[in-house]
Amino acid sequence: MADYQEYRRRVLYRRWRRIFITLALIFILSLMATVLLLWRRLHPQTEPVDAGGTLLELTLTGTGWDELSYVRSRGVEVLSLADGSTAMDFRMASVPSSDPVELEYFNTAAFVGDSLTQGMQIYDTGLPDAFYCAYKGVGPNAIVNGTTCTRADGVQEIPLEALAAYKPDKVYLLLGTNVLTQDTDHASFLAYYSVMLDMIRETLPQADIYVQSITPVRPEVSAEAKHAGMYRERFCRINNDLAALALEKGCYFLNLWEVLADENGDLKAEYAQPDGYHITPSGYAAWVEYLRTHTVRTHPVTQQTPENPETSAESTAPESAAPADSAAAALGSPSGGAVTDEGGD
């Protein structure tokens, strides 16, 4: 009888040991799977772009403004300096001053933007001989979503298709004022801007891409409810992120505040239209001079020869300079000459 009890005890012992080992293995495997999931969530891997689809098809799930989230591809340590600025300060990320280029340098450049960029096109103090994808009231989402936009001359086009057809060797971007009017989070703006830069790079892989800072405004602009988000401190924060994004994407950043802002960081009074955020002809002259002295010469200046000499002769015939108010009228601006977007944006 004693032998039977000993045998039974040993059988039960082995059975419970097997059960214990099995449960321990299940627990260890579950723990390892949980750790792996957490690791992948904290350290996401960038998937390669499928050659069978475009960046737009692979990135967007809809056309809403708030459907994208911006995630920086790498961490950046912010270092404080003695003057109070930081390593993420957009003033430090700007292209340094260089020898001035001739105006012909911009004949092979494309300017992408909103009504602020349209002013560069229509005022003779700007750069009227450059190529423009400039449309009133747009933001980077219009470029990303392939929206049909209307130029100052009334022609409708899809911005990225127009850029691809022209094939510029330099692209100057200035977008944001129309979607930053309210004092809300600007993560969606950065997300669309990021995708826009990727799409332009995919379309024009050899072009130099310049990201221009959001321009300063007069301090009274944010007093209006419809422009509550257009104030100096917020635009500085946004420009910090734009500068970081430009460097992250291998683009060049241009700090327009160097030439357009006063000592307080507001748009200079002599450069401001009555609405407080659009630019006067004299402001565009200063803007052009800044662009001339902040370039990265990776492409030689080429003189484009027109196919039809007669057409060229007609197009270069001297004409009287259009006054500022008539140029502004081409954009449907108020009598004061201000170039304004619909709805004041």
pLDDT digit string (tens) for 88-111? 477 778 899 999 999 999 999 999
| Residue 103 near residue 226 (C-beta atoms within 8 A) | no
Q: Is the pLDDT of residue 268 over 90?
A: yes
Mean pLDDT of 122-137: 93
Q: Does residue 27 lie within any of the structural domains? A: no
Joined together, the tokens standing for residue 75 give 């961490």
pLDDT digit string (tens) for 150-175? 999 999 999 999 999 999 999 999 99
Distance (Å, whole) CA 302 – CA 331: 31
pLDDT value of residue 299:
58
Q: Does residue 65 lie within any of the structural domains? A: no
87 versus 120: the higher-pLDDT residue is 120
Give the single-character DSSP code of 267.
Answer: B
Count structural domains, the chain: 1
Distance (Å, whole) CA 141 – CA 132: 18
**Domain that residue 232 falls in:** 94-299+322-344
pLDDT value of residue 286:
96
Joined together, the tokens standing for residue 310 give 């007669």
| CATH number of the CATH domain containing 160 | 3.40.50.1110
Q: Does residue 222 lie within any of the structural domains? A: yes
Q: Does residue 38 lie within any of the structural domains? A: no
pLDDT digit string (tens) for 193-219? 999 999 999 999 999 999 999 999 999
Q: Does residue 40 lie within any of the structural domains? A: no
pLDDT value of residue 203:
95
List CB contacts of 241: < 8 A, sequence separation 6 or more: 186, 190
pLDDT digit string (tens) for 34-67? 888 777 766 654 443 343 333 333 333 344 333 4
List CB contacts of 167: < 8 A, sequence separation 6 or more: 204
CA angle at residue 44 from 43 to 46, to 5 degrees? 135
Mean pLDDT of 319-331: 36
Q: Does residue 134 lie within any of the structural domains? A: yes
pLDDT value of residue 95:
92
Distance (Å, whole) CA 58 – CA 199: 11
pLDDT value of residue 44:
54
Joined together, the tokens standing for residue 194 give 């990021």
| Lowest-confidence region among 72-76, 145-149, 246-250 | 72-76
Global model pTM greater than 0.75: no
List CB contacts of 52: < 8 A, sequence separation 6 or more: none
Question: Which strand ranges, in their side-by-side order, compose the sheet holding 109-113?
Answer: 131-134, 109-113, 170-174, 208-212, 252-254
Q: Does residue 156 lie within any of the structural domains? A: yes
Q: Does residue 203 lie within any of the structural domains? A: yes
**pLDDT interval class at 33 (50, 70, 90):** confident
Q: Angle, to 10 degrees, between the axis of helix 159-166 and the axis of helix 187-203?
A: 30
